[in-house]
């Protein structure tokens, strides 16, 4: 006899969506404004790491906020406009490829988040950072949230802003360096990108020469 099929959702089918509960608890403790911080571009071989800090208006939180990696291009673009127009404060900052090579990608990511938090038009009392590390030198208390872009709407908003801004920057690089196709892969180590590097070499001040394959012996650098 066949076993009856359960109508309960399986654990792996449950998709966690970010909410405003972390921020609400902080507000109850007198920690307001609360900024969410996230970065985009830790993995690519080229381009900057870009961070954003966002202070959402609790009365005007855009619908559909989520981890930017779980959204389509069109969804991110639409949410970017709604975040910028409705938030109390939005700031962006970046660390270039040379800075990444000098300080390593983790420190560069944290530094970009610090700069973004310091650039907000309002001074936060608490900054929530996606990941395990709190950026040093914040202008306020900082807390790290693992998978924060899937838990906090403020961090999710920051992840969207950072991703959209970095994608736009890499699209601009693609128009300048047409043989690399940066507008398609945003500098990630795709087959097309690696093939372009083999054919043309890395681009000075754009490729991260501390990353493989460059540190393994690539010599030619396009100016």
Pinpoint the residues of the chain covered by CATH 3.30.420.10: 15-166
Distances (CA, A) of 13 to 9, 10, 16: 6, 5, 10
pLDDT, one tens digit per residue, over 97-155 is 999 999 999 999 999 999 999 999 999 999 999 999 999 999 999 999 999 999 999 99
Mean pLDDT in residue range 177-202: 95
Instruction: For domain 15-166, give the CATH number.
Output: 3.30.420.10
Instruction: Quote the DSSP letter at residue 188.
Output: -
Cα dihedral: 22, 25, 26, 29 (round 10) = -170
The DSSP element (H or E) to which 171 belongs, if any, is: helix 153-176
pLDDT for the residue 7: 52
- Give the pLDDT band (50/70/90) at residue 13: low
Task: Please report, for residues 67, 106, 146, the alpha-carbon distance to residue 132 in angstroms, rounded to integers and kept in the order given.
Answer: 16, 11, 6
Question: Quick check: 46 and 208 in contact, CB under 8 A?
Answer: yes
- Are 70 and 27 in contact by the 8 Å Cβ rule? The answer is no
Q: What is the mean pLDDT of residues 155-164?
A: 98
For residues 83-114, b (16+ Cβ closer than 10 Å) or e, as one string?
beeebbbbbbbbbbbebbbeeebebbbbbbbb
| Residue among 138, 153, 142 nearest 67 (CA) | 153
Is residue 66 a contact partner of residue 15, using CB atoms and an 8 Å limit?
Answer: no
Q: pTM for this structure?
A: 0.90
């Amino acid at each position: 006899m066949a076993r009856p099929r359960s109508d309960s959702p399986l654990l792996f089918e449950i998709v966690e969506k970010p909410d405003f509960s972390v921020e609400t608890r902080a507000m109850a403790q007198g920690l307001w404004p609360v900024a969410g911080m996230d970065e985009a571009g830790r993995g690519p071989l080229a381009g900057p790491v870009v961070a954003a800090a966002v202070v959402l208006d609790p009365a005007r939180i855009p619908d559909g906020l989520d981890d930017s990696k779980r959204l389509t291009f069109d969804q991110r673009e639409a949410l970017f406009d709604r975040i910028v127009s409705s938030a109390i404060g939005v700031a962006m900052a970046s660390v270039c490829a040379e800075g990444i090579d000098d300080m390593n990608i983790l420190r560069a990511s944290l530094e970009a988040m610090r700069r973004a938090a310091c650039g907000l038009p309002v001074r936060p009392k608490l900054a929530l950072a996606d990941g395990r590390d709190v950026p040093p030198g914040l202008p306020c208390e900082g807390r790290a949230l693992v998978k924060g872009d899937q838990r906090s709407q403020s961090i999710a908003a920051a992840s969207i802003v950072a991703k959209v801004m970095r994608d736009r920057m890499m699209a601009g690089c693609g128009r300048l360096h047409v043989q690399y196709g940066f507008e398609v892969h945003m500098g990630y180590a795709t087959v097309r990108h690696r093939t372009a590097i083999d054919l043309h070499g890395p681009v000075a001040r754009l490729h991260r020469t501390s990353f493989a394959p460059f540190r393994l012996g690539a010599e030619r650098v396009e100016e």
